């Protein structure tokens, strides 16, 4: 019975290599095919891990569907990352702010996270700043007004660490300070005062937005907003919640990518001539040994160069001869047939 070459195994066959009754034809899975399958598995695992980590994020724009784009009507595109750089789907929350809305993640998937605007004033609008353009205009030209105090919160947020961007600048380019505090913020980060006036099409920390690092332990994020009593309504334009992966997740993703690079041979050292020769002998040893019989039959075209290369190494009479002898003898003589190099390798 014909044996599968070394480095292969049969799928659906008995340990002796014969097909089991009722199992039909057997398939041969080579190491190369298995490497391809395992590499694809590593890629998928890395993609799913990255997507799972990245999907824990939400983009929200306080928006009015009745306003034209010049007044901020409409949601920014998925390619707009604003100050955080978190691209993905933007959620619509009316500029009135005093309602509850379900939020989708940056991939547009429902997550069970809910916005609640119980403490918002219920007022809002838009302003035509002709210098703001594109997605920046859609985010910053419309707003909810906070006077003199307001609050809103999210529920259903998975526990973990987050970086929260809160946009609070009037497109009129006026100085309007707003104190922003978040539950679970790190020490010394509450409150942050965003003052304006904004520079068209630019984001500046504490001018257009605040940045809080928070840890969620009860599934809730709460914003508390306070403006000066003498100040008219202070706008809030929107917010972004960016998940910060834990070290264990980063290690897992890094390990998957490292395994992928190793499978591709990025970290494999450069092969020497002897290693290349050994690899070629292993790949062609079965066919070459089967063709060269005791009657001196000439090998098939293409193997002559391989034989000459082996003899060249053997004639050098140095350590390479011993290397080739030890590494190649088992391959060349595996079939126990007469081989032109057998006398030399003994």
For 56-246, which CATH class?
mainly beta
Tokens of 291: 């063709």
Residue 300 bridge partners (DSSP): none
Q: What stretches in the chain show pLDDT beneath 50?
A: 1-29, 34, 266-267, 286, 293-295, 299-302, 321, 335-346
The total of other beta-carbon atoms located within 10 Å of residue 3's CB is 8
Residue 280: φ, ψ to 5°: -65, -40
Distances from the Cα of 126 to the Cα of 16, 40, 61, 196, angstroms: 78, 49, 12, 16
CB 153 within 8 A of CB 223: yes
What residues does each domain of the chain span?
56-246, 271-346
User: pLDDT tens digits, residue range 6-23?
Assistant: 444 444 444 444 444 444
- For residues 240 and 208, give the distance between their C-alpha atoms in angstroms, rounded to a whole number: 13
pLDDT of residue 344: 44
Q: What is the pLDDT of residue 211?
A: 97
Could you give phi then psi for residue 18, rounded to 5 degrees? -90, 150
The string of DSSP letters for 273-316 reads HHHHHHHHHHHHHHHHHHH--TT-PPPPTTSHHHHHHHHHHHHT
Quick check: 142 and 62 in contact, CB under 8 A?
yes
The rounded distance, in Å, linking the Cα atoms of 75 and 169 is 17
Taking alpha carbons only, the member of 317, 316, 309 closest to residue 281 is 309
Tell me the per-residue pLDDT of 84-112, one tens digit each, with 9 for 90 and over. 999 999 999 998 877 899 999 999 999 89
- Give me Rg for the CA atoms of the chain: 34
Q: In this predicted structure, what is the pLDDT of residue 323?
A: 54
């Amino acid at each position: 019975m014909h044996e599968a070459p070394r480095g292969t195994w049969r799928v659906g066959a008995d340990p002796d290599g014969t097909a089991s009754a009722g199992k039909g034809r057997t398939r041969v899975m080579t190491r190369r095919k298995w490497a391809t399958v395992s590499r694809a598995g590593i890629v998928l695992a890395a993609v799913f891990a990255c997507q799972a980590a990245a999907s824990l994020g939400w983009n929200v724009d306080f928006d009015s569907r009745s306003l034209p784009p010049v007044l901020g009507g409409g949601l920014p595109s998925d390619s707009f990352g604003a100050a955080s750089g978190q691209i993905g789907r933007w959620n619509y929350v009316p500029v009135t702010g005093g309602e509850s809305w379900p939020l989708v993640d940056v991939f547009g998937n429902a997550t069970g996270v809910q916005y609640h605007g119980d403490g918002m004033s219920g007022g809002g609008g838009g302003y035509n700043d002709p210098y703001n353009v594109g997605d920046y205009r859609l985010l910053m030209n419309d707003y909810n007004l906070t006077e003199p105090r307001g609050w809103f919160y999210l529920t259903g947020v998975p526990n973990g660490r987050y970086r929260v961007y809160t946009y609070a600048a009037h497109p009129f380019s006026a100085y309007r300070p707003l104190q922003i505090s978040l539950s679970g913020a790190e020490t010394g980060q509450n409150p942050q005062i965003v003052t304006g006036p904004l520079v068209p099409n630019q984001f500046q920390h504490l001018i257009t937005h605040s940045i809080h690092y928070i840890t969620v332990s009860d599934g809730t994020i709460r914003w508390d907003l306070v403006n000066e009593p003498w100040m008219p309504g202070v706008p809030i334009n929107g917010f972004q919640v960016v998940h910060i992966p834990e070290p264990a997740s980063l290690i897992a993703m890094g390990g998957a990518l490292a395994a992928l690079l190793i499978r591709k041979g990025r970290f494999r050292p450069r092969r020497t001539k002897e290693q290349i020769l050994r690899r070629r002998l292993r790949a062609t040893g079965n066919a070459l040994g089967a063709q060269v019989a005791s009657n001196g039959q000439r090998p098939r075209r293409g193997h002559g160069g391989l034989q000459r290369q082996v003899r060249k190494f053997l004639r050098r009479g140095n350590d390479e001869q011993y290397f080739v002898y030890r590494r190649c003898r088992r391959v060349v003589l595996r079939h126990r047939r007469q081989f032109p190099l057998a006398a030399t390798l003994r």
